[in-house]
Amino acid sequence: MPLSTAEHFKRAAIFVAVVLVPVLIWFLFDVVMMAMGAILVAMLLSLGAEPFRKWLGFPRATALLASGLVITCAVGAAGYLTAMQAAQLQDILQRTQQAIGSIRTALQGSDFGKLILPYVQGDHFTLTGIVTGVFRISLTFLTALVISVFGGMYLAAEVDVYRDGMIQLLPDRLRANGAETLADITNALRLWMLGQMIGMLLVGLMTALATWLIGLPSPMSLGAIAGVFEFIPYVGPVLGSIPGVLVAITQSPKAVMWTIGAYVLIQQVEGHLIAPLISREMVYIPPLVLILGIVAITTLFGLHAAIFAAPIAVIIFVAVKKLYVRDSLGDTTPIPGEENCRNPPRAPPVRR
């Protein structure tokens, strides 16, 4: 049966839309990252509001306001402590530069070092270029941070409006499944973020304690650095350990060995004790999925994209399991986070 002109136009429009979506994501990935940041900010506000709603019986709007005030005070206190430890941070930077200089000198003193040194340094790295690049990155980061924070506030305040608006873009026959899928993604992402926050706190405390016992300078700053980098799974802990090792190089070979051993031990405790407990109570995502997701997104969009690579991988993983494995193939596979909740949240029907 030949297709009508309207049906031809409809199929052509669908094809064009499917082709354009990856292109738009490619060119607008910075916007995607800001949207991801807004979603995480909204998640953080909602997580902070839960105790006020459950234990104190606050209305949702009041609980979100209280959550925002608590988070603002916490960030302000952290900023104050960071300002108080500005000398420690400066000391870490100076010791890091000193360690890099020592490594460069050691490489220049050996034939093997002279062979690889041209590949790890270049004459085009000038002080002016570095300062300009840092300023540009900082200004871009600040702009994205402001947009993400305010976007997250609006999203948390009127989450029903944005959720219903997304669902209404679907045909009537797909809206119920779309609402269910969106609820599954929200639940998994919320539990993943809660687990990451717990892991960041514990790793930061253990790192600060370990570096203090070893005798390294600025243990609180080193702990804060390790805790922040813990947000990026698998890759972040390695990056977070580099400042501590470089600072230890300026102390003594014994301090280097103890520092490397401490970071390895902390990651073993986190990987074999803390992470399994968090995964069992929160949400489990196969490690290879997160690793490949981080590598793929970082390769496509740059190193800065690694910040949100993990939550993006969580969203894609849940969507594939729900829409393809369960709905299309008919397999009874559990959705991440679903088995950890007696009554997983479901979005209400869309108002018409």
Dihedrals φ, ψ of 72, to 5°? -60, -45
pLDDT at 128: 42
pLDDT for the residue numbered 262: 92
Own/partner contacts of 96-103, CB < 8 Å, gap of 24 or more, are: 96/243, 96/246, 96/247, 98/250, 99/246, 99/247, 99/249, 99/250, 100/246, 102/249, 102/250, 103/249
Q: Give the whole-angstrom CA distance, residue 270 versus residue 9.
A: 55
Look at phi and psi of residue 218 and say left if phi exceeds 0, alpha if psi is from -120 to 50, else beta.
left
Phi, psi of 54 (to 5 degrees): -80, -40
- Packing angle, helices 172-214 and 236-249, rounded to 10: 20
3-state secondary structure of 292: helix
Question: Is this structure's pTM higher than 0.85?
Answer: no
Rounded Cα distance between 129 and 279, Å, is: 43
For residue 192, give the nearest of 352, 47, 329 by alpha carbon. Answer: 47
Tokens of 220: 């609180």
Fill in the DSSP letter of residue 273: I
Residue 93: alpha-carbon gap to chain centroid: 25
Instruction: Compute the distance between CA of residue 60 and CA of residue 152 in angstroms, rounded to an integer.
Output: 15
Q: For residue 300, report the phi and psi dihedrals to the nearest 5 degrees.
A: -75, -40
**Is residue 270 within 8 Å of residue 203, measured between CB atoms?**
yes
The b/e string for 50-66 (b: 16+ C-beta within 10 A; e otherwise) is eebbeeeebeeeebbbb
Measured CA angle at 307 (ends 88, 132), to 5 deg? 60
Phi then psi for 57, rounded to 5 degrees? 70, 25
What is the residue whose two structure tokens read 């994209």? 305
Cβ(263)–Cβ(203) under 8 Å?
Answer: no
Q: Rounded to the nearest 10 degrees, how much is the dihedral formed by the CA atoms of 56, 57, 62, 68? A: 40
CA distances from 18 to 11, 177, 181 (A): 11, 20, 20
| Nearest one of 286, 274, 297 to 333, comparing CA atoms | 286
Mean pLDDT by groups of 10 residues along the chain of 352 residues: 63 67 73 88 89 87 90 77 57 64 66 59 44 50 83 89 87 87 89 88 91 85 85 80 81 86 89 77 78 81 79 88 85 72 44 44
Q: Distance between CA 326 and CA 286 in Å, rounded?
A: 17
Tell me what pLDDT residue 56 has. Answer: 84
The tokens for 90 are 């400066």
pLDDT of residue 127: 40
Helices 29-55 and 60-84: angle between axes, nearest 10 degrees: 110
